[in-house]
Amino acid sequence: MSTNEGVEIQQPGINVGQAQPNRRSAQPLTRQLIPHQTTAHPARIAPMAGSGASDEEVVLEIEHCIRIFKSGRVERYFGSDPVPPCTDAGTGVASKDHTISPEVAVRLYLPPVAATDGKKLPILVYFHGGGFVLHTAFNFVFHGYLTSLAARAGAIVVSVDYRIAPEHPLPAAYDDSWQALSWVASHAPGGGAGEEPWLTDHGDFSRLSLGGESAGANIAHHLAMRAGAEEGVLPHGARISGGILLVHPYFLGHGKVPSEDSDPGMAENVVKMWRAVRPGTSGVDDPWINPLAAGAPPMEALACGRVLMCLAETDVCRDRGRAYCDGLRASGWAGEVEVLEVAGQGHCFHLGNFGCDDAVRQDEVISRFLNL
């Protein structure tokens, strides 16, 4: 084990050592998306049964982010306002939106192609986090971060806007994300021209990766599992040939782990949040939230040859991510796992300041991963 500028190296992984996202107004926000999806605010869903609370009592509250009432009313305070696509003046990265279906849209990010000498670029299909209850993929946080990542990695990024809970309980997010991945795969060589020239003209499908942070990392795992269980299910023989990127993944499990002591209140909230997004769940050992649970699909079927796991020291989910890596290695899966752990940082710290030293180091490792 060696160290370099505060970066601790582990073989075969790497360890480097929480900023909150920028806050907007404390007034509840409407989830305003591009035309494929609109939700009036305050949103209403079917009343939640079994909580024992009166209709207007709060069943889940995360300060500055969301409040969910037993009556079905939802108030979101952050992450619902979109920003338009553009060409970024600082990096030259261009972005544009595409509606795949009434439920699903994507934002594509393309680095300046003049600098590539005609070489095709790796493709990252990216799923945003937010505990399945927050954010549009088109908000200012993800737009800024993915513009930066596309520039640093020299990769095409396809950011997926999926339906969120509790208005649209799981498995809606998984189904929408699979639809988006299938759309991307429809542009693979040998299947016709495809409708999106950024993918057909500039995308290298021999380096197709999935990734996301928090709930988005959870989605990336499950899509890779589905691709492995249903061989040939993606259009035109497309494969997850690059790997999967799991940043601070939202996984839970039975029994307490040490990382949950870093923020007991948040540790409690992520369990409550899971029950809100998947009504009727069996709990924290539901295979959708615990890939290591009894009854979960065997991880050896994961449809990629490489996994990059990014962890943060003070993240309550850190030890679940570590356990995932241990379970994957023990499963008989034939691929390679790389681990990056950032000291002194919390869950999704990079979204609060993606220009800080730790975030830049993390993105440099991600960029190398995407370009192999």
CA angle 276, 127, 71 (to 5 degrees): 20
What is the rounded CA–CA span in Å between residue 207 and residue 203? 9
Rounded Cα distance, 166 and 170, in Å: 8
pLDDT confidence tier of residue 192, bands split at 50, 70 and 90: low
Q: Chain-wide mean pLDDT for the chain?
A: 86
* Active-site residue list: 214, 315, 347
For residue 210, which amino acid is it? L
Rounded distance between C-alpha atoms, residue 244 and residue 36, angstroms: 28
Region 352-363: what's the mean pLDDT? 96
CA-closest candidate to residue 203, choices 148, 156, 151? 156
pTM for the structure as a whole: 0.86
Q: Is the pLDDT of residue 158 over 50?
A: yes
Q: Three-class SS of residue 256?
A: coil
Q: Which run of H or of E encompasses 325? A: helix 318-330
For 28-68, the pLDDT digits (tens) are 433 333 333 333 334 444 455 444 546 789 988 988 889 99
- β-pair type (336-342, 306-312): parallel
pLDDT for the residue 54? 63
